[in-house]
Amino acid sequence: MTPFIASALLPLLRRIDAETAHDFSLWALRRGLAGHAPRFDDPVLATQVLGLSFSNPIGLAAGFDKNAVAVRALMNLGFGFVETGTVTPRPQAGNSKPRLYRLESDRAVINRMGFNNGGLEAYRRNLEGLSGRTAILGANVGINKDGANPERDYPMLIGAVGPLADYVAINVSSPNTPGLRDLQSEDRLRSILRAVAAVPNKPPILVKVAPDLTDEGLRAVVETAVAEGVQGLIVGNTTLSRPPGIVSRLIRKDGGLSGAPLLGLSTRMLARAFLYAEGRLVLIGAGGVFDANDAMLKIRAGASLVQLYTGFAYQGPVAIPRMKRQLAALLKNGGYSRVQDAVGCDARALAELR
């Protein structure tokens, strides 16, 4: 099956419950039913950041493959990198169902999943059994809802998954675990990162932040990350805000909003993070990316790499080769010979995006 055929089946999946459809998608991926995209990427898309070589800057965000069960199949779709997780020390069921809602008229999703995953042991087994990787692998780590000790748990998780991944992202920004976003405060984040610093032989470390931070909070996160030796930030997670213009009645549901309505908010925060970081951090732009124009917007705002999730869920595998082809054209038409040359070129203007 080709990515085009797999994507053509998406209207059928949208007739069933969103979480059931997601579970079926993972089942199909594990069995190779999503097909393979061409492995060749235009050289203009190649980029080197975090000490790693990416064949293209388009990645899959954490949350799609929480337990790392379909990594190879996802990489075969043409992503430059795939971020798995969020994984927690112990398995947990997450919040009660229903907890995932499609806002189709708005190209958006609301989720209150609550870090449902099979826990660290199962996650490690899946990564240990992974061979023949064709893209960069990220691991996203979080804490359990009950019995968590962040200064203990994050270093333990990084020590366990670090040898199996190319980078690790510390998730302190999901809105669906009580108290988690409080860990973005300057004092708590510094305490966690100092504990993480003691982990030996770890890969590059990034922190995933919420798009709902105040300017003061964002500045504090940037300075704390730099001071404590973090290599980058992922900007950002889902939002608890409800941007104007959303028409679906499901907007009243609790949880984090992702998808097209998040593009402006997340891009403005990304551009500001780029200006505050002054080249000291690598930034991954996430939030509202559906096509090459959105990806280019993130790059112009300061992202060296771009992630999507909701855009992939709505469009399917066909979106990735199309996005790469069109992004390569945008870069060339803009006079750029490589992705790095375009990073942050419009950050000052986009920092004021409304």
**Residues whose CB falls within 8 Å of the CB of residue 252, separated by 6 or more in sequence, listed in order:** none
Q: CA dist 29 to 24, 118, 159, 293, Å?
A: 9, 18, 29, 27
Query: What residue spans of the chain are helical by DSSP H?
Result: 3-8, 10-13, 18-30, 71-75, 120-128, 150-161, 186-197, 215-227, 263-277, 292-301, 310-315, 319-333, 347-350
**Residues 80, 45 contacting (CB under 8 angstroms):** yes
3-state helix, strand, coil in the chain (%, to 5): 40, 15, 40
Which DSSP string do the residues of 106-135 spell out, in sequence order? GTEEEE---S-B--HHHHHHHHHT--S--S
**Residues whose CB falls within 8 Å of the CB of residue 254, separated by 6 or more in sequence, listed in order:** 110, 112
Helix or strand (DSSP H, E) at 95: none
- State the sign of the Cα–Cα–Cα–Cα dihedral 62, 63, 69, 75: negative
**Residues 316, 3 contacting (CB under 8 angstroms):** yes
DSSP state of 271: H
- Two tokens, residue 157: 């998780």
Catalytic residues, which ones? 174
Q: Is 101 exposed, middle or buried (0-12, 13-18, 19+ CB in 10 A)?
A: buried
Q: What is d(CA 182, CA 189) in angstroms, rounded to the nearest whole number?
A: 9
Q: What is d(CA 150, CA 125) in angstroms, rounded to the nearest whole number?
A: 23
